[in-house]
Structure 1
Amino acid sequence: MAGTAAAYRASEGGPLDVDRAFYGRAASALDGRELVERFTVPIRSGRAWEVPAGHVCRLVTVDGPQVGDLNVWNSHDPRERLWASRTRQLQRAHVSTYDRLWSTLPFLRPLLTITSDTLAGYGRDAEGGRVHDLLGTRCDPYVNRMLTGEDFDFHCHSNLVRAVLPYGLTEFDVHDVLNVFQCTGLNDDDQYFMKDCPARPGDHLEFFAELDLLCALSTCPGGDLSVPMWGPGSDVDPVEFCHPIGVEVYRLDPELLKGWTPPERAAYRNVHGMSRPEWRP
């Protein structure tokens, strides 16, 4: 059926055509890596960190299943940040190896490319669930108050707000996320659902930084999402199902990066059909 084909399709050598050989080498050349930073994001908290262009970053479920909410910015200009909805169109609603996260207008370029995903084989389960979700967004205290009448300060939105403050960013800079390790889909009524996180200790999602990046991650207070966050059954605090997420940043062998260059911002530089004002002294 013609209508089921992807609307945004890659042509050979075009901007959506990924050099899989290059990113495959970046993933497999483990001996030539140098660890430059490693830390753990505790449960129900957030942390921000930088990943220089040409480095790889690995997110790891260190001791059990855990959902993480990821934000990404150009570290030199936070107006350029992850554009979740366009990434859904250009890539997929659930991303994996060789997919990219794209940035907002007027930049429109890949911020990162996923190089390794131990959950890539999960695919689509019997209920339509898939992993590493761009369909939904972060949990937040505003929706929680609306649905429950209660305040809770450690939703992913709040965790990300606290995480980016040391970098001069505010709540207005926090944006729609990549829900790492989260299993979601749309039910028969076209409504968003969340399932138990299928990650196990040692599972990871790894990406190659196309630009100098500022990243921030929240360890979701729902943990592995085996307990509903709202509605029936949500009266149980899922803290026992919460786990930390490890973060590792590696410098790659410079030889491996030969021929790679950071992506240019979008070529369109016009004025959207508006006339340029005439200047007179």
Structure 2
Amino acid sequence: MKHSPQNPAPADAGHRRSVKPVIVYPTETLPHAETHIYAEARANLEPVEEVVVAPRDAEAFLVPAGHFFRIVSMEGPQVGDLNLWNAADLNERFFSGKTRALHGTHVGVGDRLWSNLPYMRPMATITHDTLDWYGWDDDGGGIHDVIGTRCDPYTNKLLSGDEYHYCCHSNLIRALARERGMSFDEAEPLVHDVLNVFMCTGFTRDSHQYFMKASPVRPGDFLEFFAEIDLLGALSTCPGGDCSSGHSSDAAKCYPLKIKIFRPTNGLATEWRPAQLSDYSRQHIAGD
């Protein structure tokens, strides 16, 4: 709440505010990342494909289950917006809100990107992050957030009155439409809230508004994932560049990003299996 209070504080206001918080989703019983399996697998990786995403654009890519993929900074500080789908069923896609509720506002090594309901399974696991040294800065900012939704032309029009056609939302739609031979109208509902790769963000302490600041990413930095199922991904290079000043315009200096896909050459431990769909019984929802 940012407005001035209209009502006096009650006598027990201090007591009400002092109630201790409770974690909404304790994660002790989650199926945690099999770190030893990933460590063994990534010790010997064979590159199988590279995709370069031009500035203010997006590209789609496929990652088979059991493979790794990296998003790599190439030439300068640049953030990217990532969408993920089940390659065989686009109705199953990355659920940033539940990922945020489970792992926090910013994700790192060992955290998983979860799919939407009713599928609810890990789609990918973060296995390496060259920016893990950053932690939390003095402004409360961190890297790789699942807070922001993606820059889009509708909000930009609402706030500025301008029409801009290279927002991440628009870029991701075009990439998905090209990959699957869809129309723009067919692809748009499938584009979803993103993982903001390399983006430095947080909430202001006074108004609790979402902020961004210059990303610390530099050429050679990368964020690596392990595909828990067959994935179709799309990555947009944000028109805000390093997001130090703004987005949804051509004002910022932007750079390409690279997606590198790897196959483990020593195989995977026998106990690894692709992630399974939620086993929750839906019969009571259906009224049976």
Per the TM superposition, whether the score is higher than 0.5 is yes
Deviations 1:244-281 (A, max 9, x none): 101100011253342200111001122334433xxxxx
Deviations 1:196-246 (A, max 9, x none): 01101100000000000000000000101122238xxx8x811xx211101
- Gap runs ≥5 in structure 2: 1-17
Match of 2:224 in 1: 206
Please state whether the residue corresponding to 1:80 is helix, strand or coil: strand
The one of 153, 159, 174 aligned to 2:191:
174
Say whether the 8 Å CA contact 2:46–2:264 is kept in structure 1: yes
Name the counterpart of 1:183: 200
Instruction: Provide, for residues 47-80 of structure 1, a one-character-per-residue CA deviation record: whole Å limited to 9, x for no partner.
Output: 0010000000000011111010000000001111
Whether contact under 8 Å (1:54, 1:211) holds in the other structure is yes
Question: Compared with structure 1, are the counterparts of its residues 37 and 141 closer, same or farther at alpha carbon in structure 2 (3 Å cutoff)?
Answer: same
Give the letter for the 2:33 counterpart. Answer: V
Match of 1:119 among 131, 138, 147: 131
Alignment of 1:142-181 (within 5 A): 142-166=154-178, 167=180, 168=182, 170-181=187-198
1:17 corresponds in structure 2 to 32
Please say which of residues 179-188 and 1-10 is displaced more in the overlay. Answer: 1-10
CA distance in 2, matches of 1:104, 1:273: 17
Q: 1:264 to 1:237 in 2, by over 3 A?
A: same
Aligned length: 265
Task: Note the C-alpha offset of 1:150.
Answer: 1.1
Matches of 1:140 and 1:273, distance apart in 2: 34
The equivalences for 1:1-281 within 5 A come to 3-4=20-21, 6-11=23-28, 14-27=29-42, 29=43, 32-166=44-178, 167=180, 168=182, 170-188=187-205, 189-229=207-247, 237-238=251-252, 241-276=253-288
C-alpha contact 2:108 2:129 (8 A) present in aligned 1: yes
Distance 1:62 1:170 in 2: 28
Label 1:25 to 1:3 Cα distance change in 2 as closer, same or farther (>3 A).
farther
- Please tell me whether the aligned partners of residues 100 and 111 of structure 1 are also in contact (alpha carbons under 8 angstroms): yes
Task: Give identity over the alignment, percent.
Answer: 47
Give the 3-state SS of the residue equivalent to 1:250 in structure 2.
strand
For 2:174, what is the secondary structure of its paired residue? helix
TM-score, with length taken from structure 1: 0.89
Change beyond 3 A, Cα 1:275–1:73: same
TM-score, normalised by the number of residues in structure 2: 0.87
Q: Distance in 2 between matches of 1:254 and 1:172?
A: 39
Structure 1: distance between partners of 2:111 and 2:269 = 19
- Structure-2 separation of matches of 1:204 and 1:184: 18
